[in-house]
Amino acid sequence: MISSDATNTAAAPGAAVTKRLQSELMQLMMSNTPGVSAFPEADNLLSWAATIEGPVGTVYEGLTYKLSMRFPMTYPYNAPTIKFETPMYHPNVDTAGNICLDILKEKWSAVYNVQTVLLSLQSLLGEPNNDSPLNGQAADLWCSICLFDP
């Protein structure tokens, strides 16, 4: 027979993730941050649909991009998996929508939340990291444009 303490301990990680994601959803909804949004898909709090608008003054201005966000049961100690669902041409996004952004990999910290990640992705659109491209052709094009930009 499993004691109630053992059962509560086993359920605690899932409960902690649920509580954190519910809190982040409320924070995102209350902040009304322009250009970013995210909501859980159906009844699955670990799977979200998000959107980011292209930053003003970039080639992405006026465009809206859909993303998928998948949260591990170890969130926030491990980063969510985020992919662009809307096709896009960018040095740090491959043709499958995978993203190369350090805070989604080795620089992840539990202090990040959905809002900060979406704002970082929005910023990445206008300021790619050409030192670590997923799309070499887009990185080369970006560099050639920067050389001619006054």
pLDDT digits (tens, 9 = 90+) for 80-139: 999 999 999 999 999 999 999 999 999 999 999 999 999 999 999 989 998 889 998 998
Q: Kindly state whether residue 104 falls inside one of the protein's structural domains.
A: yes
Q: Kindly state whether residue 64 falls inside one of the protein's structural domains.
A: yes
CATH of residue 41's domain is: 3.10.110.10
The amino acid at residue 10 is A
Q: Kindly state whether residue 6 falls inside one of the protein's structural domains.
A: no
For residue 150, how many other CB atoms are within 10 A of its CB? Answer: 2
Query: How many domains in the chain?
Result: 1
Q: Which of 17, 21, 52, 100 is catalytic?
A: 100
- What token pair was written down for 145? 């444009």
Q: Which stretches does DSSP call E strand in the chain?
A: 36-41, 44-53, 64-70, 81-84
**Whether 100 is catalytic:** yes
Q: Residue 23: which domain range? A: 13-147
- What are the pLDDT digits (tens) for 62-95? 999 999 999 999 999 999 999 999 999 999 999 9
- What token pair was written down for 80? 């969510």
- What token pair was written down for 90? 């960018």
For residues 97 and 28, give the distance between their C-alpha atoms in angstroms, rounded to a whole number.
23
Q: Kindly state whether residue 62 falls inside one of the protein's structural domains.
A: yes
Lowest mean pLDDT among 17-21, 33-37, 71-75, 138-142: 138-142
Q: Kindly state whether residue 2 falls inside one of the protein's structural domains.
A: no
Of 50 and 6, which is predicted with more confidence?
A: 50
Whether residue 1 is predicted with pLDDT greater than 50 in this model: the reply is no
Whether residue 2 is predicted with pLDDT greater than 60 in this model: the reply is no
- What are the pLDDT digits (tens) for 7-16? 443 445 589 9
Q: Kindly state whether residue 3 falls inside one of the protein's structural domains.
A: no
Query: Counting every residue, how long is the chain?
Result: 150
Q: What was the pLDDT predicted at 7?
A: 40
